[in-house]
Chains A and B, each alone.
Chain A
Amino acid sequence: MTTPVLDIIGVSKRFGDNLANDGISMSLGKGEIVALLGENGAGKTTLMSILFGHYVPDDGQIRIDGEELPPGKPRAAIGAGVGMVHQHFSLASNLTVLENVMTGTEQLWKLRSATEEARKKLVGIAERFGLKVDPDARLGDLSVGEQQRVEILKALYNDARILILDEPTAVLTNIEAERMFATLKDMARQGLSLIFISHKLDEVMAAAHRIVVLRGGKVVAERKASETNKAELAELMVGRRVTRPVREPSTPGAVVLELRDLGVRIGGVERLKNVGFVLREGEVLGIIGVSGNGQAPLARVLSGTLARTSGELLLYGEAVGNLSVGDVVDAGIGRIPEDRNGEGAIGEMSIWENAVLERLPAYSRNGLVDRKAGMAFAKSIIDAFDVRGGTPASGTRLLSGGNMQKLILGRNLSHRPRILIAAQPARGLDEGAVAAVHARILEARKAGTAVLLISEDLDEVISLADRIQAIVGGRLSPPVNAEEADARLLGLMMSGDWSHIAEAAHAP
């Protein structure tokens, strides 16, 4: 048994009604890699934020080498040798790698910065751990994988002995991820201790020595990687899963939406190229892919908030020009945006206002908003879609993520849309809310709505979609039928290898 360098003892943290961490205890040995496994909302990130001093725990303590860490002080955590690699990098893209790494390490009043020593140290660290990057490259010019390396280097530069990685593979391709895990293992061999947060079973099994499973803010199990398997971990992670609704077979109807050779350029960068798909009544078409591969522009083009630069868009069989939001809403297209707080709702406005905002022409007369009708509409959504925690007149900000999503779903589905564009509809929701959202989407499908489901959650896509296409670097793969898709094929599709698709689609 290695000596623990880190002890987390009975940590609890409450946000309003939500107990994010409930008496969590765990330890980390020297040279050990521990995976913190759990679903979205299980409390992983909260726990790590407490460890790093971003949050003050309501209860419990953190010990490093047996000494208690003062709560709520990131500086103390850094000083004690804790380094954090965030999911969203905290780097400045206009600075060089070296400058990024040095930021925050120097005294403000020193006139000259010790660039040369810093460079020497950085190169030394990079060589020792095999994290090759050019110290003088501008960060913005680097790939995401390289940027992550810089983020890790930055932590190591601050003499981190305990490294925390928050969903490190979320933004990486498979090959980059493999390379990163090899590096992490090498770092552990050299005496660093690592915790990485993940909800992916494969990488947890492949990289970790020990796995701590979190569910509903509690540690539900701790296993050695050598003594467990994926099936057991999956069960531990989800627990008694709320039964997700099952997709019934259906016969798709007429084509309602078709894209041909669609392209989008933003600021000279090609974000979508030669994108094509057909979407029929009563079917769900799933678009999978690692985030940042063009999902956002695709959803925005179809939602009426982004103009395409080339290609054709056929709506109900007719070629149409660029659509405004009003056109899209009038055409009976429901929209669930990826960012429900930023785009889907205006938190400071009331629930009824959010319910009618995108349909103001229908809820107004002579320029005056029909408040009564709006309130009634909001009430009907709240009742029919089981939105909890608000009344039509109360603030939308007070709703939880799941209830806000039900509100957004409700305002779209209440009008029986012919097409539904759903971008990451269940992201960040708890199991109960996920089941509710999925049930509504399938209900709409049954009623004949054509659903375009853009999601990074493979399970979600497999359980909802009839056909699946992958988006990679702004291009769409050919479709595969959901019945023929397995995790391996989908993985290949997401990595850009589409050679197997034809074969799979035509397999007997």
Chain B
Amino acid sequence: MRLERREHRPLLLLIGAPVAAIVAALVLSGILIAIAGAPVFEAYRRILIGAFGSRLSATETLTRATPLILTGLAAAVAFRARLWNIGAEGQFYLGAIAVAAFGSKLLADLPGPILIPLLLIIGATAGMMLILLPLWLRLRFSVDEVVTSLLMNFIAVLFVSMLIDGVLKDPLAFGWPQSQPVADHATLPKLIARSRLHIGLAIAIVLAVVVYLIQSRTVFGMQSRAAGLNPQGAFFAGVPLGRTLVKVACLSGGLAGLAGAIEVMGVKGYVTTDLSPGFGYAGIVVAMLANLNPIGVVFAALFTAIMFVGADGMSRSLGIPTYIADVTVALSLLTMLVALFFTQYRIRR
């Protein structure tokens, strides 16, 4: 048996492979559900009900998908250019704390229509700042950014922890380490009344389309793709590798920072150290699930959100640990990687 590179990739295969991967992941986790002693189909039905069964659960799922779309985009744009930004989690927190800092007092006197966009920009900028150090280390000393951007996460989270237990601590929080809340008029408008779903979802989807257009239509998009695919060839063709990477890093870090800003302004209102249940890391999974396609990121984020939100419902009614959602998402990542592999190679005997 040998592997051969495919010369042509039929469209059906490109569409079918991700679907087959999700089905395979569901079948595999179905086995685990069966072992746990629950009826498999009932379990999946419960997941769907948990994620979409009511107005509340549906809006909850979409609310959960919002930061995942943004962190997924952050990973996707960086990975496209072979910039391994593993630091979206830290960038998320830095974006969040920047919004809390500026939105609670410093700029709180500005009117909402000015304040909200300004805070979003501040959050994105904060995210950018955090990735510039790992990027500089890579460009200057060839230090692997996988390690440095990952380690920056811990620095960022501890820094946030210091702030919310110090200068930014909310005096009304009964001593809990929690930041002061952003001003009421800095909260994002709701998309659907009487729910937590806010316009952050629309922003995220619009940004997915924008990122897609940037990658497919602009000089910068083409150059960053070239730099990722073949740095040597890109350099020969005159692509400024360093400058391109800086732009890619700013886009990536900015998206992750924006995710944090939007989560604070749309959902929580303030920052705690458990603001993110790992949105930054999950973004990497989402991006890989989407094969780094920005539009695919929206669907991959939705799938991941369905699994996480739905698993809570399933767990309550069937008594299976919610960890099954983690397992399913992880499995789908593995099956997706296998499926993507087979869109590029075929087995020949």
State the A residues within 8 Å of B (CB): 16, 56, 303-305, 324-326, 329, 335, 337, 339, 342-349, 353, 357-358, 360, 364, 367-369, 371, 398
Contact A348 B230 (CB under 8 A): yes
Contact B222 A368 (CB under 8 A): no
Q: Provide 7 A-B residue pairs closer than 8 Å at the C-beta atoms, listed in order of the A residue.
A: A305-B236, A343-B232, A343-B233, A346-B229, A346-B230, A348-B230, A369-B217
Q: How far is the CB of A451 from chain B (nearest CB, A)?
A: 19
Q: How far is the CB of B237 from chain A (nearest CB, A)?
A: 4
Contact A357 B217 (CB under 8 A): no
Q: How far is the CB of B224 from chain A (nearest CB, A)?
A: 12
Which A residues are in CB contact (< 8 Å) with B217? 368-369, 371
Contact B222 A369 (CB under 8 A): yes
Which A residues are in CB contact (< 8 Å) with B239? 357
Contact A369 B236 (CB under 8 A): no
Contact A346 B219 (CB under 8 A): no
Q: How far is the CB of A357 from chain B (nearest CB, A)?
A: 4
**A342-B230, A342-B232, A348-B229 given as contacts; is B220 within 8 A of A358 (CB)?**
no
Which B residues are in CB contact (< 8 Å) with A348? 229-230
Which A residues are in CB contact (< 8 Å) with B230? 342, 346-348
Cα A344 to Cα B219 in complex, Å, equals 19
Known: A329-B238, A345-B233. 15 other contacts (CB 8 A): A16-B7, A56-B2, A303-B236, A325-B237, A326-B238, A337-B236, A342-B232, A343-B232, A357-B222, A357-B234, A357-B238, A360-B238, A367-B218, A368-B218, A369-B217
Cα A371 to Cα B218 in complex, Å, equals 10
Question: Nearest CB to that of A356 among chain B residues?
Answer: B222
Choice from B2, B7, B225, B235 contacting A305 with Cβ under 8 Å:
B235
Cα A360 to Cα B223 in complex, Å, equals 9
Question: Nearest CB to that of A55 among chain B residues?
Answer: B2
Q: Does chain A have a CB within 8 A of B226?
A: yes
Q: How far is the CB of A409 from chain B (nearest CB, A)?
A: 15
Which B residues are in CB contact (< 8 Å) with A304? 238
Which A residues are in CB contact (< 8 Å) with B220? 367
Cα A325 to Cα B239 in complex, Å, equals 8
Interface size classification for chain B: 20 to 34
Cα A305 to Cα B218 in complex, Å, equals 24
Cα A360 to Cα B229 in complex, Å, equals 17
Cα A441 to Cα B234 in complex, Å, equals 25
Question: Nearest CB to that of A347 among chain B residues?
Answer: B230
Which A residues are in CB contact (< 8 Å) with B235? 305, 325, 343
Cα A56 to Cα B237 in complex, Å, equals 37
Q: How far is the CB of B184 from chain A (nearest CB, A)?
A: 39
Tell which of A346, A358, A398 has the most Cβ of chain B within 10 Å.
A346
Question: Nearest CB to that of A363 among chain B residues?
Answer: B219
Contact A364 B219 (CB under 8 A): yes
Cα A357 to Cα B232 in complex, Å, equals 13
Cα A353 to Cα B2 in complex, Å, equals 32
Cα A346 to Cα B230 in complex, Å, equals 6
Q: How far is the CB of A485 from chain B (nearest CB, A)?
A: 31
Which A residues are in CB contact (< 8 Å) with B236? 303, 305, 325, 335, 337, 343-344, 358
Cα A38 to Cα B294 in complex, Å, equals 50
Contact B234 A346 (CB under 8 A): yes
Contact A349 B225 (CB under 8 A): yes
Q: How far is the CB of B285 from chain A (nearest CB, A)?
A: 23
Taken residue by residue from 231 to 247, chain B's Cβ proximity to chain A (1 for < 8 Å, 0 otherwise) reads as: 01111111100000000
Which B residues are in CB contact (< 8 Å) with A305? 235-236
Contact A325 B238 (CB under 8 A): yes
Q: Across chains A and B, which 6 residue pairs bring their CB atoms closest together, nearest first?
A: A325-B238, A343-B236, A358-B237, A357-B237, A346-B230, A346-B233
Tell which of B218, B223, B238 has the most Cβ of chain A within 10 Å.
B238
Question: Nearest CB to that of A348 among chain B residues?
Answer: B229
**A342-B232, A346-B229, A398-B7 given as contacts; is B222 within 8 A of A360 (CB)?**
yes
Choice from B7, B221, B226, B238 contacting A346 with Cβ under 8 Å:
B226
**A16-B7, A349-B226 given as contacts; is B233 within 8 A of A360 (CB)?**
no
Q: How far is the CB of A364 from chain B (nearest CB, A)?
A: 5
Question: Nearest CB to that of A357 among chain B residues?
Answer: B237
Cα A275 to Cα B223 in complex, Å, equals 34
Which B residues are in CB contact (< 8 Å) with A337? 236
Q: How far is the CB of B118 from chain A (nearest CB, A)?
A: 25
Which B residues are in CB contact (< 8 Å) with A324? 238
Q: How far is the CB of B341 from chain A (nearest CB, A)?
A: 15
Which A residues are in CB contact (< 8 Å) with B219? 360, 364, 367-369
Taken residue by residue from 255 to 297, chain B's Cβ proximity to chain A (1 for < 8 Å, 0 otherwise) reads as: 0000000000000000000000000000000000000000000
Question: Nearest CB to that of B5 among chain A residues?
Answer: A397
Which B residues are in CB contact (< 8 Å) with A369? 217-219, 221-222
Q: How far is the CB of B348 from chain A (nearest CB, A)?
A: 11
Which A residues are in CB contact (< 8 Å) with B233? 342-346
Choice from B2, B229, B232, B238 contacting A349 with Cβ under 8 Å:
B229
Question: Nearest CB to that of A345 among chain B residues?
Answer: B233
Which A residues are in CB contact (< 8 Å) with B7? 16, 398
Cα A177 to Cα B220 in complex, Å, equals 50
Q: How far is the CB of B303 from chain A (nearest CB, A)?
A: 26
Which A residues are in CB contact (< 8 Å) with B226? 346, 349, 353, 357
Which A residues are in CB contact (< 8 Å) with B221? 369
Cα A367 to Cα B214 in complex, Å, equals 10
Q: How far is the CB of A495 from chain B (nearest CB, A)?
A: 31
Cα A83 to Cα B235 in complex, Å, equals 39
Cα A329 to Cα B239 in complex, Å, equals 12
Tell which of A16, A56, A339, A357 has the most Cβ of chain B within 10 Å.
A357
Question: Nearest CB to that of B233 among chain A residues?
Answer: A346
Cα A132 to Cα B221 in complex, Å, equals 55
Q: How far is the CB of B319 from chain A (nearest CB, A)?
A: 48
Considering only residues 1-44 of chain B, those with a C-beta below 8 Å from chain A are 2, 7
Cα A346 to Cα B229 in complex, Å, equals 7
Cα A56 to Cα B235 in complex, Å, equals 37
Q: How far is the CB of B157 from chain A (nearest CB, A)?
A: 36
Contact B238 A358 (CB under 8 A): yes
Q: How far is the CB of A102 from chain B (nearest CB, A)?
A: 31
Question: Nearest CB to that of B213 among chain A residues?
Answer: A368
Question: Nearest CB to that of A374 among chain B residues?
Answer: B222
Question: Nearest CB to that of B236 among chain A residues?
Answer: A343
Which A residues are in CB contact (< 8 Å) with B238? 304, 324-326, 329, 357-358, 360
Which B residues are in CB contact (< 8 Å) with A325? 235-238
Cα A5 to Cα B265 in complex, Å, equals 80
Considering only residues 326-342 of chain B, those with a C-beta below 8 Å from chain A are none
Q: How far is the CB of A425 from chain B (nearest CB, A)?
A: 15
Which B residues are in CB contact (< 8 Å) with A347? 229-230
Cα A325 to Cα B217 in complex, Å, equals 23
Cα A116 to Cα B259 in complex, Å, equals 63
Cα A145 to Cα B302 in complex, Å, equals 61
